[in-house]
């Protein structure tokens, strides 16, 4: 092999290396984010367009734009979000995923971007005065798999009916196969406001199992991604972007 051929070979190797590095950088810049398909107003899929929507989705899109990342949303049942993150099928979780001590042991959270609590939904014909989860003993209660409410309901003696989504829980109540639904207040209010369905009531005076904060989650130890998300979120909260997104979704 003469000098010219050697130089061409070296140039080819350098070009291949540069292309591989560029491809790797592009892959690293794409963030796979898990959402639930029917968890509006936080995250979900638009019924008509099937495009991701919700205030958590829009906030994550704004964060990604600020941080120079490309977002690829991956819809899945709520109960699969954390497992998918730990199995590296996704890079982050957006939606009604709140900070709890149990979750903090296995994932890292950004600063909070919202607040949540559970509410009890029953049929309007049910006039029971349910004050707390203790009053749900022996009642058939629907709740989403993986939610923070599952164990407290089981510990209180409720007959739990796990659901893949909040619409599934409400469908069970409508059909009479459960006595009540314990789910995220934001999502229950959204359903009642947008579905046009009647015959339900949110129980006044019910003391929530948990009042907490919503945050985006990444794998434990993924410090680089956490820093990017946290930094951009803080910036967007300070300049009013996050507040404007919440207002669009009729949230305070």
> Are 135 and 121 members of one domain?
yes
Per-residue confidence band for 1, with pLDDT thresholds at 50, 70 and 90: low
Residue-level pLDDT at 43: 96
pLDDT digits 0-9 by tens, 194-223: 998 999 999 999 999 999 999 999 999 999
Per-residue confidence band for 15, with pLDDT thresholds at 50, 70 and 90: low
Query: Sign of torsion, CA 200 48 75 222?
Result: negative
Q: Is the pLDDT of residue 22 over 70?
A: no
Per-residue confidence band for 26, with pLDDT thresholds at 50, 70 and 90: very low
N-to-C CA span, the chain = 72
> Are 97 and 221 members of one domain?
yes
Residue-level pLDDT at 21: 43
Per-residue confidence band for 12, with pLDDT thresholds at 50, 70 and 90: low
| Residue range 159-171: mean pLDDT, rounded | 94
- Do 113 and 242 contact (CB within 8 A), yes or no? yes
Question: How many domains, in total, are found in the chain?
Answer: 2
- The three state secondary structure string of 34-48 is EECCEECCCEEECCC
Look over the chain and give the mean of its residue pLDDT values, rounded to a whole number. Answer: 90
Q: For residues 242 and 233, give the distance between their C-alpha atoms in angstroms, rounded to a whole number.
A: 8
| Residue range 85-99: mean pLDDT, rounded | 96
> Are 96 and 84 members of one domain?
yes
Residue-level pLDDT at 14: 45
> Are 35 and 102 members of one domain?
yes
Beta bridge partners of 214: 98, 114
Question: Does residue 196 lie within any of the structural domains?
Answer: yes
Q: Is the pLDDT of residue 18 over 70?
A: no
> Are 109 and 125 members of one domain?
no
- Enter the tokens of residue 39: 């968890």
CA dihedral 217, 167, 176, 193 (to 10 degrees): 110
> Are 136 and 192 members of one domain?
yes
pLDDT digits 0-9 by tens, 183-195: 999 999 999 999 9
* Helix extents (H) in 29-142: 55-67, 81-86, 101-104
Q: Is the pLDDT of residue 173 over 60?
A: yes
Comparing CA positions, the residue from 231, 202, 201 lying closest to residue 216 is 231
Question: Does residue 68 lie within any of the structural domains?
Answer: yes
> Are 80 and 196 members of one domain?
no
Residue-level pLDDT at 3: 58
| DSSP strands (E only) in the chain | 30-35, 38-39, 43-45, 52-53, 70-75, 92-93, 107-109, 114-123, 140-144, 159-163, 180-184, 200-202, 211-214, 217-219
Q: Is the pLDDT of residue 120 over 80?
A: yes
Question: Does residue 235 lie within any of the structural domains?
Answer: yes
Question: Does residue 22 lie within any of the structural domains?
Answer: no
Residue-level pLDDT at 124: 97
Beta-carbon neighbour count of residue 81 at 10 Å? 24
C-alpha separations of 51 from 45, 57, 144 in Å: 5, 10, 22
Question: Does residue 93 lie within any of the structural domains?
Answer: yes
Q: Is the pLDDT of residue 6 over 60?
A: no
Query: Sign of torsion, CA 197 160 56 93?
Result: negative
> Are 219 and 207 members of one domain?
no
Residue-level pLDDT at 25: 42
Considering only residues 150 and 24, tell me which one the structure prediction assigns the higher pLDDT: 150
The CATH number that applies at residue 131 is: 3.40.190.10
Per-residue confidence band for 20, with pLDDT thresholds at 50, 70 and 90: very low
Beta-carbon neighbour count of residue 63 at 10 Å? 28
Residue-level pLDDT at 95: 87
* Domain carrying residue 234: 29-113+215-248
Upstream peptide bond of 41 is cis (omega within 30 degrees of 0): yes
Helix (H, G, I), strand (E, B) or coil at 21: helix
- Do 122 and 142 contact (CB within 8 A), yes or no? no
Comparing CA positions, the residue from 163, 149, 168 lying closest to residue 206 is 149
């Amino acid at each position: 092999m003469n000098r010219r051929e050697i130089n061409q070979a070296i140039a080819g190797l350098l070009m291949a290396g540069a292309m591989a590095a560029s491809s790797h950088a592009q892959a690293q810049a794409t963030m796979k984010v898990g959402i639930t398909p029917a968890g509006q107003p936080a995250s979900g899929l638009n019924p008509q367009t099937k495009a991701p929507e919700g205030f958590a989705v829009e906030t994550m899109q704004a964060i990604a734009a600020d941080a120079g990342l490309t977002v690829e949303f991956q819809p899945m049942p709520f109960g699969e979000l954390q497992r998918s993150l730990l199995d590296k099928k996704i890079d982050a979780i957006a939606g009604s995923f709140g900070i709890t001590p149990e979750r903090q042991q296995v994932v890292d959270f950004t600063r909070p971007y919202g607040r949540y609590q559970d509410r009890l939904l029953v049929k309007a014909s049910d006039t029971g005065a349910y004050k707390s989860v203790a009053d749900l003993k022996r009642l058939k209660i629907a709740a989403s798999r993986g939610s923070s409410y599952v164990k407290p309901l089981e510990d209180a003696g409720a007959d739990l009916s796990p659901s893949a989504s909040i619409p599934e829980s409400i469908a069970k109540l409508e059909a009479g196969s459960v006595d009540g639904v314990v789910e995220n207040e934001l999502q229950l209010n959204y359903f009642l406001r947008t579905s046009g369905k009647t015959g339900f009531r949110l129980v006044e005076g019910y003391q929530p199992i948990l009042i907490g904060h919503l945050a985006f989650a990444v794998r434990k130890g993924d410090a680089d991604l956490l820093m990017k998300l946290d930094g951009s979120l803080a910036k967007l909260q300070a300049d009013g972007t996050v507040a404007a997104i919440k207002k669009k979704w009729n949230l305070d």
